[in-house]
Structure 1
Amino acid sequence: MTRIAEISVHRTSLPLVRPFVTARRRATTLDTVLVSVTDSDGVTGWGEAPTSWRVTGESAASVDAVVRGPLGDAVLGLDPLDTDAASERIIDAVVGNAAARSAVESAVVDLAARLSGATLARFLGAAPETTRISTDLTLAAGPVESLLADARAGAAFPALKIKVGLDADADRDAVIAVRREIGSDVRLRVDANQGWTASDAIRVIRAWEEAGVDLEFVEQPTPARDLAALAFVTSAVSTPILADESVWTTSDLHDIVERRAADAVNIKLAKCGGPVAALDLARAARAAGMGIIVGSMLESTVGVGTSAAVAAALDADAVHDLDAGAWVAASPVDGGIRYDGGSIVLSTGAGLGIRGLAAPLADGSAA
């Protein structure tokens, strides 16, 4: 019987095609950590831990340490096909470190899918005919002129998500301008990344409602830990409110449901700890009557590929929030998903379909 024999860490910094700007940060590079898990027969699975002190609270150094330390100890020697046992041991190994845990769990599940001969999406429960999923396009926070140019460039996408939260009044006017520019056929979403007070959020969202902007949802308008503010906004507007930074665990979700603080949740693997945890969180959200989409942090096609497989298993017809890999100038791996306009094309190979590190990373990047 094959066993998990090796776990490796691959730090990488990749340029973005343009600056990624939100209410929380501005990035021009993707600084991330890939994790590979190899069994005793030499078969490898892949995962990713996006790093940002202000978003995930983790760094490349912290991910490296915890993966090569307690998380590696937790999975080495395990049967890679026993993903439930691996997930339980990963959860028990450390407190916090959600992105690192996600990378290791993702790599183990990818390895199990490869050994089973199934695509990762199929292994997680997607229908056999699912070959692609839809994603929105994120418009980075900025002047209205740049938002309009980005909106025009995103015509192939079924939905646009505008990053706001830097200036409530400017946000109000910019979103109205984008809706007028793109017309009524494209779904429009807004993400404030915790940037508003409750009063500003209510004032701006009501202005959009009165202007007929017709938003699909407003994501995380208020600070993540202030559930009272989030619930106040949700109760005061007609536009659906999507919780993101407020929900990392099923316990967080239960708090949201109890307070009626949001209508839906954005599920991200780097918050909840991996694909198994994401599926559990989605089931709990649906049981509570909440809507779901699958999103990602700013990460490469490795992490987005795992998230896309989860999305395919949960709702292949929804428009998810997985354009992050398209922001990166080049993939760090050979194989995996690819973008085709507003769609993510899933690999037909076993697991994620990753054949190894891309050439520039393959020489000397493993730790």
Structure 2
Amino acid sequence: MSQPETSATSTASSAETSTTPSPASATPAVILTGDRPTGPLHLGHYVGSLRSRVGYQHDYQQFIMLADSQALTDNMDDIDKVRRNVVEVALDYLAVGIDPAKSTILIQSQIPELAELTFYYLNMVTVARLERNPTVKAEIVLRGFERDIPAGFLTYPASQAADISAFKASIVPVGEDQIPMIEQTNEIVRRFNRIANRDILVECKALVPEIGRLPGIDGKAKMSKSLGNTINLGASADEITAAVKKVYTDPLHLRVQDPGHLEGNVAFIYLDAFDTDKAALEEMKAHYVRGGLGDSIVKKRLEAVLQEMLAPIRARREEFAKDKGQVMQMLKEGTARAREVAAKTADEVKAALGLNYF
């Protein structure tokens, strides 16, 4: 979605990572995943997490969090953006095939036990350790905070540790850049268990997707809502066409007969991610590299692949959007189920800290 005071790079605090979860057992492992509701989800989200979540829900106990409280740490000047996108992101979940009967979808802010656990965990980590977290450092630079860092943003690792440990998740799907957050979560878990003198909280493993971050259509390193270089899951056919025309290819491929390059070529990166006819795609790559294949042909194939993939997702999204009240009811029910789990963990934590007076 954070941990005694040790270096994030030390062996003791390193998070175990994997690209595939372990097979389901008689007691399904718990997965926690989620998104900040700051805008509609896009192809990067689909590759990075959504597609996998649809599969996980059949074999694991999966909690999917709409992290609205966390989103406010750098959106307090536009709180309506966060509020309205809670339902919009939920619509994307339903559209891709996440089943609320198999996955528990919850709203972070509506589970006060998460904030309570965060408060306790902040006493188990120093400001210096928070500032050393590589993920936090990178995000501070990205947002241009310099030293004007919102306190809630700086303490996000403790908040994420609360989110993960509240549901006793043992598997957390994240990108490679988020592994330091999992390491710090495990540090906090271990320190708390030492204080309690027994294992109450559960250490977690980072699950890194085989396909990493999807670049934006402009060739930037990351597809991002804030950079405006996305193709949204709910994009119309015309929007997909317009976006594909802007997709970055090989700037040195000036003539059709010139040999093309695949490295950094966003059109082929997308085809690798979404084209199911791998044999035909490999033939196209070979043709492009030796020359004689224009970028327009590559983009035509890419558009066909994306149109076919996104059309049913868009249709389902439009159908669910006809009754947003029902979508909100689904979120209310999922949040209620999740709160029961988090409240039980919070009670265990308070008892271990001697805060069970009555």
Query: Which one has more relative contact order, counting CA pairs under 8 Å at least 6 apart?
Result: 2
TM-score by length of 2: 0.26
TM-score (norm 1): 0.26
* Between structures 1 and 2, the one with greater helix share: 2
